[in-house]
Chain A
C-alpha cells in the first residue's frame, strides 16, 4: 500500500472505521515508518483535543428573540396581500390615467362632449381662448424673431445694443456706489 494511503487510514482509524485487517496493516506500517508514526501521534493529539465535550450555552433570552423574529415575519407575511392589493390598485390607477386620455383623443370620444349643452359651450369657449393665446404667442414670437435677426445681422444695430449695454452697466454701477455712499453718511450721522 502507498505511503499516502496509510495517512488516510490514520484518520479513519481515529474514527474506528477500519477493518481488523486494515488496522493490523496500519499498525505494522507505523512500527516501521517514523514519518507515519509522527503523523499518527500528531493526529491523535488533535483527536484528544477535540474529544473533550465542551458546550456553550445560548443566551437566556435566545428563545424569546427567535420568537420575536418569527412574529415579525408573520406580521410582514400577513401584510403582504394587502400591500400587493394597494400597490396593484395604485399601478392600475396610474395606468388608467395615462391610457384613458390617449384613448379618449385617438378614438375621437372627445367630440361627444361638445353635444352636452353647458359643457359643450364651455369647451368651445376654452378652445377659442386657447387659439387666441396661441395666435398672440405666435405673433409675439415671430416679431421677436424678426427683431433678433435684424439686431444680430445689422452691424450698426449691434453697435447700438452693445453701447447701450455698456452704458446701462455703468449707470447701474454708479447708482449702487451712490447708494452705498449715502448709507455710510447716514450711519455716520446717526452715530
Chain B
C-alpha cells in the first residue's frame, strides 16, 4: 500500500514510468472486469484503456486512504455500466452469437480441456449478458474478485443492502433462465465440469 502511494506520488510529480508500473500490476484485473461486463474482446480492451486513462487524468482526486484497486475497478465498472446502457439503446439482440473470447490465461491446458473451458466460459458470458449492467457488475465482483458486500458497495458507490438485493435478484434471474431451452447446453457444460 505504501509502495503504491509512493508510486502515485511520483506519477503526480510527472513520472509516467510509475504509471506504467501501475498498469502492469492492474491490467489483468481491469481487463477481466471489462471483458466480463462487456463480453467482447475489442470493447473490453477499449474500456480497460479508457479506465486507466481516466484514472491517470483524475489521479489527484484519489484518496490514499482507500484501496487503489477498488478505486480503479470502480472507474472501470462505472464506465462499463454506462457503455452497456448506451448499447441497450441501440439494442443488441441476445440471439446473436457470442463474439470470440480472447486467449485464456491457462495456456498449458490440453486441447480437449481448452474446448471444455471455452464452452463453460461462453456459458457464463451468455448468462451474464442477460443481466442488467448493475446486477452484472455485482455478480462479477462477488465471484471473480472475491469482494465482500461492503467492498462491492464501495466500488459501485451504493449500499450493502442494495448489493444484497442485486445479488439475490441476479441469482434468481439466472436460475430461472438456466432451465430454458436456450441454456440447456449450459447445464451440460456446468454439470460436466
A residues touching B (Cβ–Cβ < 8 Å)? 7-8, 10-12, 14-15, 17, 39, 42-43, 45-59, 62-63, 65-67, 69-71, 73-74
- For B179, what are the chain A residues with a Cβ–Cβ distance below 8 Å? 42
A42 in complex: contacting residue of B124, B149, B178, CB < 8 Å: B178
- Does B79 have its Cβ within 8 Å of any Cβ on chain A? no
Contact across chains for A11 and B171 when beta carbons are under 8 A apart: yes
Chosen A-B contacts, 10 in total, with CB atoms closer than 8 Å, are A11-B172, A17-B149, A43-B171, A45-B187, A45-B190, A51-B143, A56-B103, A57-B105, A66-B23, A66-B27
Q: How far is the CB of B124 from chain A (nearest CB, A)?
A: 6
Q: Is the CB of A54 within 8 A of B120?
A: yes
Query: Is B52 interfacial (CB 8 A cutoff)?
Result: yes
What DSSP secondary structure best describes chain A's contact surface? helix
Distance between Cα atoms of A12 and B161 in the complex (Å) = 11
* CB of B135 closer than 8 Å to a CB of A: no
CA distance A70 to B49 in the complex (A): 10
Choose among A14, A15, A49 the residue that contacts B190 (Cβ–Cβ < 8 A): A49
State in angstroms the CA–CA spacing of A57 and B104 once bound together.
6
Instruction: Establish whether residues A11 and B167, one from each chain, have CB atoms under 8 Å apart when the complex forms.
Output: yes
Instruction: For A50, list chain B residues within 8 Å (CB).
Output: 124, 139, 143-144
Contacting pair A46 B31 (CB below 8 A): no
- Chain A residues near B191 (CB-CB < 8 A): 45
Expressed in whole angstroms, the minimum distance between the Cβ of A17 and any Cβ of chain B is 8
Residue from A17, A47, A50, A58 whose CB has the most chain B CB atoms within 10 Å = A58
Those 6 A-B pairs whose CB atoms lie nearest each other, nearest first: A42-B175, A58-B31, A11-B168, A55-B105, A50-B143, A46-B174
Q: Given the complex, which residues of B lie within 8 Å of A7, measured CB to CB?
A: 168, 172
Total of A-B residue pairs, C-beta within 8 Å: 122
Contacts of A57 in B (CB 8 A): 28, 31, 102-105
Q: Which of B151-193 contact A (CB under 8 A)?
A: 164, 167-168, 171-172, 174-176, 178-179, 186-187, 190-191, 193
- Within the complex, what minimum Cβ distance (angstroms) separates B142 from chain A? 7
- Contact present for B193 and A52 (CB under 8 Å): yes
B129-155 contacts to A, CB under 8 A, are: 139, 142-144, 149
B45, A74: Cβ atoms closer than 8 Å: no
Among A45, A53, A66, chain B packs the most CB atoms within 10 A around the CB of A66
Pick the contact of A49: B32, B164, B172, B186 (CB < 8 A): B186
Complex contact A67–B23 (CB within 8 A): yes
Give chain A residues whose Cβ lies under 8 Å from the Cβ of B149.
15, 17
Q: How far is the CB of A86 from chain B (nearest CB, A)?
A: 23
On whether the beta carbons of B48 and A58 are closer than 8 Å, the reply is yes
